[in-house]
């Protein structure tokens, strides 16, 4: 049985959604954030020393990192769904997006989030971060031009991975300038499996405003 160790209002919402998409048999163990620091509770370190979410356990396997978890779940439980065939050009694109969602794309967003908490708003770093943010969000926006989904215009694990970027961008950057990303987020959030995941877990701050 797959156990999704789910920190509220976090990237692990994506993993619950993925389990719903593929009809996997899973259970959720929920962890609350510290009300002052917003960090994960120490109990999560008993599952994995980093104490981050998502983390899944499956038999004697413990796996961290959203991209690795998506890859693992699709290989073991996906029955060929949501991932292009290994060896195809589409699979190369899929891997690129799967990694990009938690590396290139997320970094400027996290930098902006953290520096905005500094007393001077991270003044010296601000121009560089803004430049990187515009560059990466611009790339995503352009990649979604005229398509619904990132890889061969078919919904895949890569879309689930990038959904978190789409969901937290409005905290830091106006989605008015990113209509393709806004529409992508809405498409993700309107999938029946996404809605089932919402219903199965605790309230999610970055979910649809309904």
Whether 16 contacts 41, CB under 8 Å = no
Positions in 26-55 near ligand GSH (CB under 6 A)? 39-40, 51-54
Q: Does 140 bind ligand GSH (CB under 6 A)?
A: no
Whether 52 contacts 64, CB under 8 Å = yes
Place of tokens 């405003």: 209
CB of residue 128 to ligand GSH, shortest distance in Å: 22
Q: Does 157 bind ligand GSH (CB under 6 A)?
A: no
CB of residue 195 to ligand GSH, shortest distance in Å: 21
Using CB under 6 A, pick the residue from 4, 5, 6, 7 that binds ligand GSH: 7
- d(CA 134, CA 152) in angstroms, rounded, equals 24
Q: Does 102 bind ligand GSH (CB under 6 A)?
A: yes
- What's the Rg (C-alpha) of the chain? 17
- Between residues 54 and 84, which has the closer beta carbon with respect to ligand GSH? 54
Burial of 113 (0-12, 13-18, 19+ CB in 10 A): middle
Task: Read off the tokens for 161.
Answer: 């991975």
DSSP string over 136-152:
HHHHHHHHTTT-SSTBT
Binding track, positions 63-82, relative to ligand GSH; x by CB under 6 A: --xx----------------
CB of residue 99 to ligand GSH, shortest distance in Å: 11
Q: Does 6 bind ligand GSH (CB under 6 A)?
A: no
Chain residues binding ligand GSH by CB under 6 A are 7, 10-11, 39-40, 51-54, 65-66, 102
């Amino acid at each position: 049985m797959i156990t999704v160790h789910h920190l509220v209002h976090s990237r692990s919402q994506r993993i619950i959604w993925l389990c719903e998409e593929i009809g996997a048999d899973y259970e959720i163990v929920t962890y609350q954030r510290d009300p002052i620091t917003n960090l994960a509770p120490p109990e999560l370190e008993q599952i994995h020393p980093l104490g981050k979410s998502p983390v899944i356990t499956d038999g004697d396997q413990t796996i961290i990192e959203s991209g690795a978890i998506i890859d693992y779940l699709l290989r073991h439980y996906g029955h060929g769904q949501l991932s292009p065939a290994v060896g195809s050009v589409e699979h190369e694109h899929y891997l690129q997006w799967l990694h990009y969602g938690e590396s290139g794309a997320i970094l400027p967003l996290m930098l902006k989030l953290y520096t905005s908490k500094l007393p001077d708003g991270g003044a010296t770093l601000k121009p560089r971060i803004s430049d990187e943010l515009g560059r990466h969000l611009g790339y995503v926006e352009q990649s979604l031009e005229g398509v619904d989904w990132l890889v061969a215009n078919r919904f895949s694990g890569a879309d689930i991975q990038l959904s978190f970027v789409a969901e937290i961008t409005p905290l830091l950057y106006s989605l008015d300038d990113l209509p393709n990303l806004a529409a992508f987020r809405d498409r993700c959030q309107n999938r029946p499996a996404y809605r089932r995941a919402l219903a199965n877990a605790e309230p999610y701050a970055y979910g649809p405003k309904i």
